[in-house]
Amino acid sequence: MKTTRSTPSALRIGILGCANIARQFARDVAPSRKVRVDAVASRNAETAAAFAADHAIGRHHGTYEALLSDPGIDAIYIPLPNSLHAEWAIRAAEAGKHVLCEKPLALGAAEARSMFDAAARHGVMLLEAYPYYFQPQTGDMLALLREGAIGTVRSVQASFGFNLAKPQGNIRMNPELGGGALLDAGSYPLSLIRLVMGCAPQRVQADASWADSGVDISLAATLLYADGRRAQFDCAMDSAMHRRAMIAGTQGTIETEFLNHTSAEPAGDAHGYLPSQLRLRRGTAGTVPFENLQSATGSGFRFAAEAFAAVIARRDFEGIARAAAASIDIAATIEALAQSAKLGRAIDVQAG
């Protein structure tokens, strides 16, 4: 029996751009009954047509503006280079479209605020898309923290790094497009730190290594909080792939890989998605064994898109406001870290 991809009430999404990440998003969202990718746009009409054909998308547009004017689209997914997020999120909001925007949302706190202000003015929702946020594993981790499984959180250590196989010509190496390890990789551990700590740090101290193009190729930092808590993180574009966080509380610890996309298959599934580790130690002694916890698995793109569809359907502007506060805190922290790395001294974070 043939099944349909979606229901008539599915959120109708248009993809703004045809980058590789857009292809992965379209592929992973395709089986959903709650979200439907109905259109795609490129600045090259042939590219848009080819993308649409590859992913069985009904409509394609040869300009971004045409997608924003498409009356059959409810929301826009933005996978553009970091430097273009603010412009096109604001233009989408002005066109009356909800916006699911790839991370990092913005290049700084002022830019992030302007994006959320535009969404509020036009009565639409804007959400920063960290796929791991919407993983069931992340929900399970937050539930453990809320129930006091490790007591009061005192510190977080988080890292994410990978190796650019062909850095020449890669947009991550272009400072004009918002490249660099901090924005591209560092936004992930920083977002997890914000998720766990619940607020922005008061002060940061960062150290970076620089590529010839002028972007940071790696960066490490300490984040200091007003109540005496601390967090440390590092990010890199010149190392083997690694992604891990450790949360230390007064009564235990949690360790996680916080992967974007997960699979229950030990050797990986057809898309290369792997299991993501979540370990819990309930106790303060090193002799207390860790519990290995299992969560539901799947594509973070699909989880994110379906969660976005749900908040739109509920008109959950309060939930979006909480997410917006976190995104602004992350943007302000990134801004302070970039300044600290350049100046070689601690910088206060201008959040709130």
Catalytic residues: 103
Q: In what order do the strands lie in the sheet with 278-282?
A: 291-292, 278-282, 252-256, 238-249, 153-163, 230-236, 216-224, 203-210, 347-348
Cα–Cα distance, 13 to 112 (Å, whole number): 22
> How crowded is the C-beta side of 252, counted as CA atoms within 13 Å?
18
DSSP assigned state of 253: E
SS3 336: helix
Listed residue (62, 53, 6, 58) closest to 29, CA to CA = 6
Listed residue (166, 152, 259, 139) closest to 197, CA to CA = 152
Which phi-psi region, left, alpha or beta, contains residue 216 (left: φ > 0; alpha: ψ -120 to 50)?
A: beta
The three-state (H, E, C) secondary structure of 189-247, written as one string:
HHHHHHHHHCCCCCEEEEEEEECCCCCEEEEEEEEECCCCCEEEEEEECEEEEEEEEEE
